Amino acid sequence: MTTQSHAILNIALLAKRDKPYLHRYAFIGAVLPDLPIFIFFIIESIILKTPQRELWDSVYFTEAWQNFFDIFNSVPLILILLGIGYYLLNSEKVTVLAWSLLIHCGFDLLTHHDDGHHHFYPFSDFAFESPISYWDDAHHANIFAPIERAVILLTSIYLYPRLKTRLARWCLVIVNVLFVASYLLFFIFRSR
């Protein structure tokens, strides 16, 4: 799934009407596993000028980059964080952050075919290959992507009145507009 999908779904799943400050921890947990990908892209594409085909076909899969990605997608490490947050710190903020990280990993397991993470890092280099990919038409992205957009739009409609600030509501609207635009550009116009 896309990063914005993770953010919107995780906030909706972990939102508490009486505790809107927890939204930011759900948001952080939703986007943190994808942060290394953005760092990778900035370093490799913008700074080092690696060609896009090489970037995604080979450099992405190098051991060093994969290990960096996997640290942020490691279920064992996230479970340790969850235990620390819940049992040692008795912190609802850390607990929500950890649950959001786990939810992100769960959705990634379902939507990554040949680019999945090693979710049991550092104990295993096993990567589950889902039959579904959120971006690759060869693995049903042409079916999954419009469903993902529809689910995110419906989730956003549910979430909108639960957000307490104008800024949060505007961010939700802007993300949805950009999300639909990216779908049109990536999936519809590229096939022409």
pTM passes above 0.95: no
- Token digits of residue 61: 């899969």
What pLDDT is recorded for position 76? Answer: 98
Sorted by where each begins, the domain ranges of the chain are: 3-135
pLDDT tens-digit profile of 55-93? 999 999 999 999 999 999 999 999 999 999 999 999 999
Q: What is the mean pLDDT of the chain?
A: 92
Band (pLDDT 50/70/90 cuts) for residue 164 is: confident
Q: Give the model's confidence band at 188: pLDDT under 50 very low, under 70 low, under 90 confident, else very high.
A: low
Q: What is the pLDDT of residue 71?
A: 96
